[in-house]
Structure 1
Amino acid sequence: MGITITNTYGNPHHVSDTNPAHVTSCDYYRLPLVGTIAPGNPGYEDMVDMLKENGHDTRPEGYGLIFLESEEFSATYFGSIEQIEQYKRENTDGRATFDASQGVMYAQWPHGKGWDDFLPRVFWNQAQRGGIADGVGLVTAFAHTVTTGAEVIVYEFEGKWLPDSEPQQLVTYHCTACHLDTFHDSGHVHENTGPSSRRWAARQARQHILSAHRHGARTNSACRPNNGEMLRVVNAVARDMWGTTGDALPDTDDAYCATKGPCSIIRELRAGVRPPVYRA
């Protein structure tokens, strides 16, 4: 396709040779969760089904687990309980390493029976790691390939699906070239339940860039600035209704977004400030 997607924030990732939106791995991971499972634990038989299906159920005493995560990828390591207990003892300063050749690595974190009760909800931004709050902050960002200086930014935030609903932990992306609000594009705002949610948001951000690269930033692209057209319509209607001469809203998309849209959230995140709940 002849395009390289470049990070402006976060770690670069390896992608498929044929699809720059498909991330295959990363050189740097966090290890946010470490644990063990053994026969007799709730859901154990269901949890090891994936190992049995792949011929990897080789430890009758149980397994030591390490869950790895990057901004756009995740993996699960299954090793011996002894290995993981040793890793935990040596990792008091957070700098211990482990030998992945002693076990087996699976892409992504498992889910389903047993796993859904075992795994806690983990956010990329965490207060204990210096984040603004759990699930509030930037995840990664990419340079726009058509509009110079623009970015497509993936971020965690607190928002509402509806004004009278409860706040939720959400993740989405925002393009500073077109300023389209992903709440108006079905399937582009996700409940922030774990690495898979953030992976999807980042994949959609990459797809947005690919669409702009293929079609340009115009009508038949996912990146389609409307140049304030809707704002001017709203302002005209408001002037007629209220008999005023001034505009009720900013008349450009970037100005509106900076005060009332996703850019207002991202500005606060970059400043290290917890934004208000979006769409409250």
Structure 2
Amino acid sequence: MSVTIRNTYGTPHNVSDTNPAHVTSCDRYRLPLVGTIAPGNPGYEDMVEMLKDNGHDTRPEGYGLIFLESEEFSATYFGSIEQIEKYKRENVDGTATFDAQQGVTYAQWPHGKGWDEFLPRVFWNQAARGAIADGVGLVTAFAHTEVPGAEVIVYEFEGKWTHDSDPTQMVTYHCTACHMDTAHGGDVHENTGPDRRRWAARQARQHIVSAHRHGVGDKNSSCRPNGGEMLRAVNAVAKNRLGMTSNPLPDTDDVYCATKGPCSIIRELRAGVRPAVYRA
């Protein structure tokens, strides 16, 4: 059962012919990082191991690097140091281009020895580009195929894993049709780089595919509103055992989410307001 996933925010991406949750490329990228590596640099031998394994280690003097990123995809270009230094000189106003045919491009950004120390932590939302703060803001969003007006939204935010832990940058998705808590489902990720944002967006796409395949509310569907069942249970305990005369929590998921959950975060992000740190 095929489904077309439509963006309501962010850049449309190219996907597999057989799996709309699998992004294969993008037509437009940011180039957030540009640099060079050469023999003698810390970790150099480990960093070029991937090139050696694929028969691409052809520049004994070292490599110029361009790291590309979109909301749901990333790539790394290896060219000559001369080419990348020329690109940096010409890109003072941010309009320069480079010829990718002069080198080799790998999907995703590298990880492992050498690379983990070389690459800084980069967020999609950056204060220098007008974001509320680094790692705080919307990444992309998709129209829900089964519930008109609903969206599945991928966003970066500041959160805590536990009540007494330090805040950190996180990324996840939220469905405004079912208001599922992704924290309880293990779908909140530490926002360490483009691969984590790609994975969060993939999970958002999978959520839509599941809703399209099984319907909303089906036991086999990822999109299952619980109708406020847990909220009403908490309210009942508060009244019956604690003697409260009014509900401490809203009794519907959409109202709770709008006031205390992800919908409240997303509303503030869209308004350009920095949300409070969220307990994931």
Deviation string, structure 1 residues 21-76 (Cα, Å, up to 9, x no partner)? 00000001000000000111111111001001111111111100000000000000
Q: What amino acid does structure 2 have at the position aligned with 1:204?
A: Q
Q: Which residue of 1 aligns with 2:216?
A: 217
- For residues 23 and 98 of structure 1, the distance between their equivalents in structure 2, rounded to whole angstroms, comes to 24
Deviation string, structure 1 residues 171-190 (Cα, Å, up to 9, x no partner)? 0000000001111112x111
Q: What amino acid does structure 1 have at the position aligned with 2:47?
A: M
Q: 1:166 offset after TM fit, Å?
A: 1.1
Q: What amino acid does structure 2 have at the position aligned with 1:57?
A: D
1:123-272 matches, within 5 Å, as 123-186=123-186, 188-218=187-217, 219-272=219-272
- For residues 104 and 51 of structure 1, the distance between their equivalents in structure 2, rounded to whole angstroms, comes to 9
Deviation string, structure 1 residues 94-144 (Cα, Å, up to 9, x no partner)? 010000000000000001011000000000000000000000000000000
User: Any unmatched runs of 5+ in structure 1?
Assistant: none
User: Any unmatched runs of 5+ in structure 2?
Assistant: none
Root-mean-square deviation over aligned CA pairs = 0.9
Instruction: Give the 3-state SS of the residue equivalent to 2:256 in structure 1.
Output: helix
Q: 1:220 offset after TM fit, Å?
A: 2.2
Percent of aligned pairs sharing the same letter: 83
Q: TM-score, normalised by structure 1?
A: 0.98
Instruction: Give the 3-state SS of the residue equivalent to 2:36 in structure 1.
Output: strand
Q: 1:246 offset after TM fit, Å?
A: 2.1
Q: 1:164 offset after TM fit, Å?
A: 1.3
Instruction: Give the 3-state SS of the residue equivalent to 1:184 in structure 2.
Output: coil
Q: 1:245 offset after TM fit, Å?
A: 3.4
Deviation string, structure 1 residues 208-242 (Cα, Å, up to 9, x no partner)? 11110111111321110001111111111111123
Deviates more, 1:270-279 or 1:213-222: 213-222
Q: What amino acid does structure 1 have at the position aligned with 2:273?
A: V
Moved over 3 A (4+): none
Q: 1:14 offset after TM fit, Å?
A: 0.2
- For residues 150 and 264 of structure 2, the distance between their equivalents in structure 1, rounded to whole angstroms, comes to 15
Instruction: Give the 3-state SS of the residue equivalent to 1:207 in structure 2.
Output: helix
Q: What amino acid does structure 2 have at the position aligned with 1:115?
A: W
Q: What amino acid does structure 2 have at the position aligned with 1:67?
A: F
- For residues 244 and 211 of structure 1, the distance between their equivalents in structure 2, rounded to whole angstroms, comes to 40
- For residues 191 and 117 of structure 1, the distance between their equivalents in structure 2, rounded to whole angstroms, comes to 18
Determine whether 1:25 maps to 2:25: yes
- For residues 87 and 42 of structure 1, the distance between their equivalents in structure 2, rounded to whole angstroms, comes to 24
